[in-house]
Amino acid sequence: MEKLNRHTFYSFISAGDRVVEFSAQWCFDCKRLRLSLPELENRYASAFRFGELDVDEAREIAESLGVKGVPTFIVFRDGREWGRLPAKDARKEKNLTPFFDRMSYKSPA
């Protein structure tokens, strides 16, 4: 997972399908999910590039996007938010695969 910061975030999400995990060093659920994320990242590698943004290091970005808790996953398509798995749902590992399945579906243009 690519580590993002306030300088790299917008260029990362600007083109293509991206998943950003909004997390924090102190977040127990974020640490627990890190064990599952490499497997999910491999599974969805053809659909997304994955990045992680620490909300304490980029508070202004998290606030501007309305991130209220961590971990939160936001899917971006060409710079626009496509979907969100908020902290209350993202804390449950069983919710990640259905969310990524739904988000990886590309409807016809």
Model confidence pLDDT, tens digit, residues 34-66: 999 999 999 999 999 999 999 999 999 999 999
CATH of domain 2-104: 3.40.30.10
Q: How far is residue 78's CA from residue 11's CA, in Å, rounded to a whole number? A: 10
pLDDT at 71 > cutoff 80: yes
Catalytic positions: 27, 30
When pLDDT is cut at 50, 70 and 90, the band that residue 68 belongs to is very high
